[in-house]
Chains A and B, each alone.
Chain A
Amino acid sequence: MSTMTVSAPVTNSLTAGKLPKNSPLIVLAASWVVAAAFFAVIFLAGATETFNWAGALFFGTVLHCVALFLFSYFVEGVRRAKDRLVTALVTIAFVVALIPLISLVGTTVVNGLPAFLTPSFFTESQRNVVGAGGGALHAIVGTLFVTGLATLISVPIGLLTAIYLTEYGRGRLARGITFFVDVMTGIPSIVAGLFAYALFSLLFDDPGIRFGFGGSVALSVLMIPVVVRSSEEMLKLVPNELREAAYALGVPKWLTIVKVVLPTSLAGIVTGVMISISRVIGETAPLLIIAGFTASMNYDLFSERMMTLPVFVYNQYASQGADSQAYIDRAWAGALTLIVIVMLLNLVARLVARTFSPKLGR
């Protein structure tokens, strides 16, 4: 530090008494080097079997916080030192939050890719498969059917409710709906599955009931509130001038909504629907309860058990056969398929939102 102040020819009153701008980075690099050197000495001395990367990174980062605080304390005073410490901690928290995401996606790709790339994974079911081989076609078809029907149920109900809340709703009913829609977003997924089971086992008087349509109903319970919330936000963004212009031309209210309000907010609504699909497509617990699991193809939503991808992943892991590695590989491949679907849905949704959103000039 002392060399800095000595070598500066002119003291600028605005920067005097401050650490140089890139000092946090320099301190971070120095701390890592020191920690790495420390652990390298331990490793060379034979105390640990391998070089402890995690330890070096962890203690290097801790050292960085301490060193930066001390430097800043002596140069800039305690207030700036606290500020620098918090900046470092907040940034570290963000990086720490990203570690699970990177680790999770990384392991899924590495472990899932071998079975994922087998052609039979997308063309065969698990019928009569013991050990390696077979595929997840039955689960992929089941997921598409169940989620597709759930979307067909949820979107009209959710969209109409959102329209009610933005265009018609006044008074207690609207307030009640808004409140309970918010509360519904917090229903545990397994409770939705239990509800579908309780409903249909009473209706059909069959305590062992398992079928795909029940899964769609359970997913709808989870999906409707998400659709309502996102569509409501989008409908609220439509400027009132557009509605007033339509009324001034004598257009009835319902035609104004259908022809003016909905087209304007279509991109946002589509985005919201896709994101809500990506939320429910990975739900396992409700489908485990009401759709059950099977090794065979089933194209009929209204009878017999139906396999879905998340349940496939769980089932492959939970009931491993003699050749357990084959089952674990298939579980990871199923997980990879799910992640790819979810990420694609999210990505396309963002693209739709960005490309087709109305330019409001704001």
Chain B
Amino acid sequence: MTTAVDRIAIKAKERPGDRIFSTATVVAGSLILAVLAAVALFLFVQSIPAFVAPADAFKGDFTNFWSYVAPLAFGTVWSAFLALLMAVPVAIAVALFISHYAPRKLAQGLGYLIDLLAAVPSVVFGLWGIGVLAPLVQPFYASLVDWFGWFPLFAGPVSGTGRTILTVAIVLAVMVLPIITAICREIFLQTPVLYEEASLALGATRWEMITMAVLPFGRAGIISAAMLGLGRALGETMAVAMVLSPNPQVIFQLLTSQNSNTIAANIALNFPEAHGVGVNILLATGLVLFVITLIVNMIARVIINRRKAFSGAN
């Protein structure tokens, strides 16, 4: 009885302004969910003609949509995987440098410097990839093929321009590095200071402290950071479209001038000239890319959120 009275007594008066304002915020929030649903819906509706398209609607000799998209999906995953292989170790090291090795006063400024890398537009990375990186690495590729050509991935003939999937992977690695670094840095800084001080007080060197306190604490965070980087690398368009010399097949070799294209780059290269059902086919490949990145991102976010709930940081 008394509780009911209390509840009535402390209830604030609902003013019209309050109601309008709170409704506006709810509408805005729901709009975001609606947009995400609309992206999936409109892409799907526009993709339906592609799934039933006849064989002659596809560029090259493909029989149906799935045989067309499979090499592209392979190229997307393959280039992103190679990029992560290079980016993740470097990103962890850079994050450790900023969080635990650099002088305290410099650390924040150095963090900004790495963040600037994330702000460079992808089309500029594309120009840099063709203009600077590809000519720079081509002689290196040539000697790799000469010496290690027996290894299947490095089989020749070597590309004369350096515009191979390995160059693309290097550019992608540079592009995802700041994202992975930023998240790893945050995670490493959250390590409870007591753990760190305890291990140092027991006589551990700095590296032993990191392997015993920082890395175990941040393992889940590192995994999800890598997956977010993967999501970015999967969807990157312009750098790939400009640097890669593509071929519509599944190709593992890293150094030849025949490379599997990625979904995003294939869309960017063909969309301006596409017409009729060709547009629907490209939209359908976009839907495939959307689903792949959505799954990768959702897994990454679930890992981060679970980690947040059990963290002892606060």
In the complex, are the beta carbons of B33 and A288 less than 8 A apart? no
Q: Would you call A57 an interface residue if the criterion is a C-beta within 8 Å of the partner chain's C-beta atoms?
A: no
Q: Is the CB of A339 within 8 A of B124?
A: yes
- The answer to whether B132 and A164 touch across the interface, beta carbons within 8 angstroms, is no
Shortest CB–CB separation between residue B88 and chain A, in angstroms?
11
The verdict on B116 contacting chain A, using a C-beta distance below 8 Å, is yes
* Residue A313 CB within 8 A of the other chain: yes
- B96:A314 contact, CB within 8 angstroms: no
Given A90-B101, A314-B242, A104 contacting B125 (CB threshold 8 A)? yes
Across the interface, do B119 and A188 meet the contact criterion of CB distance under 8 Å?
A: no
Partner of B132, one of A103, A165, A182, A310: A103
B-side interface size class: 35 or more
CB-based nearest B residue for A99: B174
Cα(A182)–Cα(B96), bound, Å: 25
A66-105 residues at the B interface, CB under 8 angstroms: 79-80, 82-83, 86-87, 89-91, 93-94, 96-98, 100-101, 103-104
Of residues 336 to 356 in A, which have CB atoms within 8 Å of B's CB atoms?
338-339, 342-343, 346, 350
Q: Which of B27, B36, B236 contacts A180 (CB 8 A)?
A: B36
> How close is B81's CB to chain A, nearest CB, in angstroms?
16
Please give the distance in Å from A273's CB to the nearest CB on chain B: 14
Separation in Å of the B23 CB from the closest CB of chain A?
10
- Say yes or no: B22 contacts A161, CB within 8 Å: no
Q: Which of B22, B24, B131, B296 contacts A111 (CB 8 A)?
A: B131
Q: CB-nearest residue of chain A relative to B89? A: A93
Interface residue from A89, A168, A185, A288 paired with B26 (Cβ < 8 Å): A168
Whether the Cβ atoms of A176 and B117 lie closer than 8 Å is no
Judge whether B124 and A190 touch: CB under 8 Å: no
Which residues on A sit within 8 Å (CB–CB) of B21?
Answer: 253-254, 257-258
Residues of chain B contacted by A42 (CB below 8 angstroms):
none
Docked-complex contact B238 and A314, CB < 8 angstroms:
yes
Looking at A156, A195, A282, the one whose CB has the most chain B CB atoms below 10 A away is: A195
Partner of B208, one of A83, A190, A207: A83
In this assembly, does B153 line the interface, its C-beta being within 8 Å of a C-beta of chain A? no
Chain A: interface residue total (CB-CB under 8 A)? 96
Q: How far is the CA of A333 from the CA of B43 in the complex (A)?
A: 35
Of B32, B42, B304, B305, most A-chain CB atoms within 10 Å? B32
The majority secondary structure among interface residues of chain B is helix
B residues 17-68 touching A (CB-CB < 8 Å): 17-18, 20-22, 24-33, 35-36, 38-39, 42-43, 45-46
Contacts across chains A and B counted by CB atoms under 8 Å: 277
Interface centre among A164, A185, A279, A342 (most CB of B within 10 A): A164
* Complex: chain B residue closest to A166, CB-CB: B25
Residues of B within 8 A of A278 (CB): 119
Is the C-beta of B231 less than 8 angstroms from some C-beta in chain A?
yes
> Beta-carbon contacts of A215-256 to B below 8 Å, as 1s and 0s?
000000100110010000000000000000001000011110
Q: Does B222 contact A (CB under 8 A)?
A: no
Q: Which residue of A lies closest to B121 (CB)?
A: A282
Q: Is B268 an interface position by the 8 A CB rule?
A: yes
- Note all chain B residues with C-beta closer than 8 A to A108: 124, 127-128
Contacts of B177 in A (CB 8 A): 97
Inter-chain contacts of B45 with A (CB < 8 A): 198, 202
- Contact of A186 with B124 in the complex, beta carbons under 8 Å: no
Residues of chain B within 8 A of A186, CB atoms compared: 228, 231-232, 235, 293-294, 296-297, 300
Chain A, Cβ-Cβ closest to B297: A186
Query: A160-B28, A168-B22, A183-B294 are contacts. A87–B206 as well, Cβ < 8 Å?
Result: yes
Name the B residues within 8 Å of A198 (CB-CB).
42-43, 45-46, 283
Q: In the assembled complex, which residues on chain B have CB atoms less than 8 Å from the CB atom of A194?
A: 43, 267, 282-283, 286
- Residues of B at the A interface (CB closer than 8 Å) are 12, 15, 17-18, 20-22, 24-33, 35-36, 38-39, 42-43, 45-46, 89-90, 93-94, 96-98, 101-102, 110, 112-117, 119-128, 130-132, 174, 177, 181, 205-208, 210, 228, 231-232, 234-238, 242, 264, 267-268, 271-272, 275-276, 279, 282-283, 286, 289-290, 293-294, 296-298, 300-301, 304-305
* 10 further contact pairs, Cβ within 8 A, besides A254-B17, A275-B119: A157-B32, A164-B25, A186-B235, A207-B276, A224-B32, A252-B15, A285-B264, A335-B124, A338-B121, A339-B120
- 21 pairs of residues in contact across A and B, judged by CB atoms under 8 Å: A79-B205, A83-B207, A86-B206, A87-B101, A107-B128, A157-B31, A169-B29, A177-B33, A182-B297, A184-B35, A190-B237, A191-B290, A191-B293, A199-B42, A253-B21, A282-B120, A285-B238, A313-B123, A314-B238, A342-B119, A343-B119
